[in-house]
Amino acid sequence: MDLERELPGAAMRGEFDLVYQPVLGLHDKRPVGTEALVRWRSPSLGTVLPAELVPVAEDLGLIDELGQWVLHKACRQLAEWSRGGRQLWMSVNVSVTELTGSEFVGRVAAALTIHQVEPDRLLIEIAEPSGEVDIMGVVGQLGRLRALGVRTALDDFGLGPASLAHLRRMPVDILKINRSLVSDPSGWQGQGKPVIDVVVSLGRRLGMEIVAEGLESADQVEQARLAGCRFGQGFVLARPATAERVEAYLEEFP
Ligand code: G
Ligand code: G
Ligand code: MN
Ligand code: NA
């Protein structure tokens, strides 16, 4: 496949890029952080999204190289946006394969030092683990990240197959409710609301803050706030954008 032929060397050729999607506090609609989302700008294939890129990188053994590039780029950007005392966090997505690699925690520590980023400004997001992964390995690594002072998030919660069994064991600070729960057309009115209410109260009782993802209307934003989600993300609040555009957006919130 073309992807597999082109991917080796893409990092060296400078073809990876990050876009950033702001996360807002739902009480005051101000940005509290941004999430780094990788893009592969391939001259021959066009823009390749992570859903395609990440599995191929894993198959080819290039996921650590990709992940390292993302981590350093995101930390450098965070340091830049934090100058002048701006309090923002940066989310970086990692796959379970990356997280459970033996070098992962050390690499995060190194990136924080190199870019002079306060550990609690970095948020590592992992997708809800599915059945086959080594849960205790995931739990151990998340605990080590937290011991560094880094914050952790469980991404796409509510989408995976074994949510509740794992949730109580996960050392995470933030629960991100997947947009399938949030943007279901019947979501906030009919059967969706009790599901969201229970997820929010479960997360909060476990000591987590809640991010509602995929907010696409003002009504959803208000419902998420009323349901107890402290933070929100979605196209109606702010779309993923280049560093320059996000920088201009942040400037609007002195
Ligand atoms: O940007 P997009 O909506 O296509 O992202 C889809 C998913 O890809 C996100 O939910 C995220 O979990 C994952 N993703 C985005 N950037 C990265 C990355 O740098 N590394 C990994 N492993 N996954 C990413
Ligand atoms: O799984 P993760 O949350 O990391 O995925 C983030 C992806 O979700 C990004 O690729 C982003 O483009 C997408 N996204 C962000 N906000 C919205 C939204 O409001 N609606 C939809 N459909 N996708 C969104
Ligand atoms: Mn994410
Ligand atoms: Na998500």
pLDDT, average across residues 35-63? 96
* pLDDT higher than 90, residue 185: no
Strands (E), the chain: 16-25, 31-42, 46-48, 89-94, 122-127, 151-157, 174-177, 209-212, 231-232
| 80: confidence class by pLDDT, cuts 50, 70, 90 | very high
Residues flanking ligand 2, CB < 6 Å: 21, 37, 93, 155-156, 179, 213-216, 233-235, 240
Q: Which atom of ligand 2 is closest in space to residue 236's alpha carbon?
A: 19
Residue 94 CA to ligand 2 centre (angstroms): 15
pLDDT digits (tens, 9 = 90+) for 121-174: 999 999 877 767 888 999 999 999 999 999 999 999 987 766 787 888 899 999
Q: What is the predicted ipTM?
A: 0.96
Residue 155 CA to ligand 3 centre (angstroms): 5
Residues flanking ligand 1, CB < 6 Å: 37-38, 49-51, 54, 70, 93-95, 127, 155
Q: Which atom of ligand 2 is closest in space to residue 93's alpha carbon?
A: 4
Q: Which two tokens stand for residue 117?
A: 């980023």
Question: How many CB atoms lie under 10 A from the CB of residue 221?
Answer: 21
Averaged pLDDT of the chain: 93
pLDDT digits (tens, 9 = 90+) for 85-136: 899 999 999 999 999 999 999 999 999 999 999 999 999 999 877 767 888 9
Alpha-carbon distance of 81 to 79, in angstroms, equals 6
| 181: confidence class by pLDDT, cuts 50, 70, 90 | confident
The closest alpha carbon to 89, from 148, 39, 25, belongs to: 25
CATH superfamily placement of domain 2-249: EAL domain (3.20.20.450)
Do the strands 16-25 and 231-232 form a parallel or antiparallel pair, or are they unpaired? antiparallel
| 1: confidence class by pLDDT, cuts 50, 70, 90 | low
pLDDT of residue 192: 76
Proximal ligand: closest to the CA of 216: 2
For residue 204, give Cα distances in angstroms to 38, 64, 111, 154, 159: 30, 33, 30, 13, 19
Contact in structure between 38 and 94 (CB atoms under 8 Å): no
pLDDT of residue 129: 72
